Amino acid sequence: MSDKSLHLRTSEAVSAALNEGRPVVALESTIITHGLPAPHNLETARATEQAVIDAGVVPATIAIIDGRIHVGLDDAQLERLARAGEDVDKCSRRDLAAVLQRGGTAGTTVATTMIVAAMAGIRVFATGGIGGVHPGAHRSFDISADLKELARTPVAVVCAGPKSILDIGLTLEYLETHGVPVVTVGSDTLPAFYSRDSGFPASLRLDDPAAIADMLRLQWQLGLDGVVIANPIDAEYALGVKTMAQVNETAVREAIEAGVSGKALTPFLLARVEALTGGQSLQANQALIVSNARLAAEIARQL
């Protein structure tokens, strides 16, 4: 057992699947603790796990509880995270050791979930959207740790593209510079979270889970690292590109005026987007998370 694995508390179901070589999909927990309001956070967490199970794959929701890294949660633990409110932290790479040291409880970001998944031997991870370069980053240097993690951790992140509140062009430039492949599923244009078309062309299009799994297998045989799998939101839940551009501009302006930055920025922006869209973005967010989990499970089955 490695020193790293000593810190993991892996559930019986996940441990059995990994030992037997059965597919497992990692799921993050900041969606539960910070990304969605109650009771939608718990409902979505349960629906996401069920989507993975329905595909014949084992879900492994990752979180830190009382200073222990958990890989695979039971329903009581999901409920605890969903109801924790301000008592729970948001843990990225820089925070991980400190949260463990103080015995804290935290939702894991995309970056931290990738780290833990890799420690546990899980190669496929589903989330809503990845973080990236925020508008105005040339002044603030506000760039999500998710991007750097993709460049150094060999895990595939199935998402609906970069969050729509980001500067998507600069996010793509950063990923290209750091050698991170961005695969778009079944479309010639990159999705932008709530919208199916970001206006940016897909750098690589693959149309089915088997082809994606083949590409991932080669990526890791070559000793390369993370991959973004951008899965467009289902058309029935998608929001218009122009509408979202206006909403995002308003939300960013309000964040600047309120002096919101750092860890608080993304939750603030998502909450304002929900309010400005009359709740439509919340429904879209829930739908895309479940859709991404379903695709991640199909990819994991092919690996």
Amino acid residing at 47: A
Ligand-binding site membership of 75 (annotated): no
Catalytic residue among 28, 149, 274, 298: 28
Sequence-ordered alpha helix ranges (H) in the chain? 12-20, 30, 40-54, 75-83, 96-101, 110-120, 137-140, 145-150, 168-177, 209-221, 241-258, 265-276, 280-302
Query: Greatest CA separation found in the chain?
Result: 53
* Short-list 98, 153, 117, CA closest to 5: 117
* Short-list 272, 191, 275, 174, CA closest to 229: 191
Ligand-binding site membership of 238 (annotated): no
CATH number for the 3-302 domain, one of 3.40.50.300, 3.30.365.10, 3.40.1790.10, 1.10.260.40? 3.40.1790.10
In angstroms, how far is the first alpha carbon of the chain from the final one?
24
pLDDT < 70 stretches in the chain = 1-3
* Short-list 74, 61, 9, 5, CA closest to 33: 61
Ligand-binding site membership of 144 (annotated): yes
**Does the annotation mark 163 as catalytic?**
yes
Instruction: Please name every residue paired with 132 in a beta bridge, in sequence order, or none if there are none.
Output: none
Catalytic residue among 49, 163, 274, 298: 163
**pTM across the whole model:** 0.93
Q: What is the DSSP string of 231-260?
A: -PPPGGG---HHHHHHHHHHHHHHHHHHT-
Angle separating helix axes 75-83 and 40-54, nearest 10 degrees: 150
Phi, psi of 78 (to 5 degrees): -60, -45
Ligand-binding site membership of 145 (annotated): yes
- The one-character DSSP state at 31 is I
Q: What is the pLDDT of residue 68?
A: 97
Are the CB atoms for 110 and 146 separated by under 8 Å?
yes
Angle separating helix axes 209-221 and 280-302, nearest 10 degrees: 70
- Domain ranges in the chain are 3-302
Are the CB atoms for 295 and 213 separated by under 8 Å?
no
**Does the annotation mark 28 as catalytic?**
yes
Cα–Cα distance, 150 to 114 (Å, whole number): 8
Q: What is the pLDDT of residue 6?
A: 77
